[in-house]
């Protein structure tokens, strides 16, 4: 997938060929000291940033977030291995006897194994108007522990005031969502 981006846009494409069934890309940033913003499958839009594609809607293994215009924010990009604790039922629903949870398949039409995030072969490709191909491709750290508890991948940080060239790879797995100020602290410690 080589998405065409408009002038001023930056597009982030998450793809994973090797399971699990569902990974979700997140972008979060502070608009002000008091206002935080998170873009993901549950909130598709914040000022200048939107989720365009969610794998749970189209049975593919890919998701896309686009920044329409970089703000003066520190952006964190993370990926979460979604674990459905509801067995595909809504709160209060009781499945009837014989209910079978449908297996998700990827775009090549085979069932995805429930691999740990570190073995998903997930990568985020970054596209910008000024470049023909991806500006960067960040692959999940497969050398880190395979633990099923490590369901968060902090891929990279981006300083919006400095542009696409400030993209800084972190590539670490966590058991919980990384803190909102992780990238702010990361850039401060780099100075």
Q: Is the model's pLDDT at 89 over the cut of 60?
A: no
pLDDT value of position 122: 94
Residues of 174-184 as b/e, b for ≥16 C-beta within 10 angstroms?
Answer: beebbeeebbb
93: buried, middle or exposed (CB in 10 Å: 19+, 13-18, 0-12)?
exposed
Whether the Cβ atoms of residue 111 and residue 60 lie closer than 8 Å to each other: no
pLDDT of residue 182: 94
- At a CB cut-off of 8 Å and minimum separation 6, what does 181 contact? 30
Cα(167)–Cα(170) distance, integer angstroms? 10
pLDDT in tens, 149-166: 899 999 999 999 999 999
Per-domain residue ranges for the chain? 10-83+99-190
pLDDT at residue 136, as a whole number: 94
The model's pTM is 0.81
Q: Sorting pLDDT into bands at 50, 70 and 90, what band is 21?
A: confident
pLDDT confidence of residue 106: 44
Q: Which residue shows structure tokens 């979604």?
A: 82
In tens, the pLDDT along 32-74 reads 888 999 999 888 898 889 888 755 444 456 799 999 989 999 9
Query: Are the C-beta atoms of residues 24 and 39 closer than 8 Å to each other?
Result: no
Mean pLDDT, residues 180-190: 90
Q: Using 50, 70 and 90 to split pLDDT, how confident is the model at 24?
A: very high
Between 19 and 188, name the one with better pLDDT: 188
């Amino acid at each position: 997938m080589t998405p065409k981006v408009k002038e001023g846009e930056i597009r982030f494409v998450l793809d994973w060929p090797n399971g699990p069934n569902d990974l979700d890309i997140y972008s979060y940033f502070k608009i002000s000291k008091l206002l935080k913003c998170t873009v993901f499958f549950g909130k598709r839009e914040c000022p200048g940033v939107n989720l365009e594609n969610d794998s749970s809607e189209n049975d593919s293994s890919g998701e896309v977030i686009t920044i329409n215009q970089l703000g003066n924010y520190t952006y964190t990009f993370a990926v979460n291995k979604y674990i459905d604790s509801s067995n595909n039922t809504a709160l209060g629903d009781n499945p009837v006897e014989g209910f079978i949870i449908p297996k998700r398949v990827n775009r090549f039409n085979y069932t995805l194994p429930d691999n740990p995030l570190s073995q998903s072969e997930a990568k985020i490709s970054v596209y910008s108007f000024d470049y023909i191909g991806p500006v960067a491709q960040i692959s999940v750290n497969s050398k880190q522990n395979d633990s099923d508890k490590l369901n968060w991948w902090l891929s990279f940080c981006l300083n919006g005031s400095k542009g696409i060239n400030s993209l800084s790879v972190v590539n670490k797995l966590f058991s919980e969502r990384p803190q909102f100020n992780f990238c702010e602290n990361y850039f401060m410690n780099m100075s």
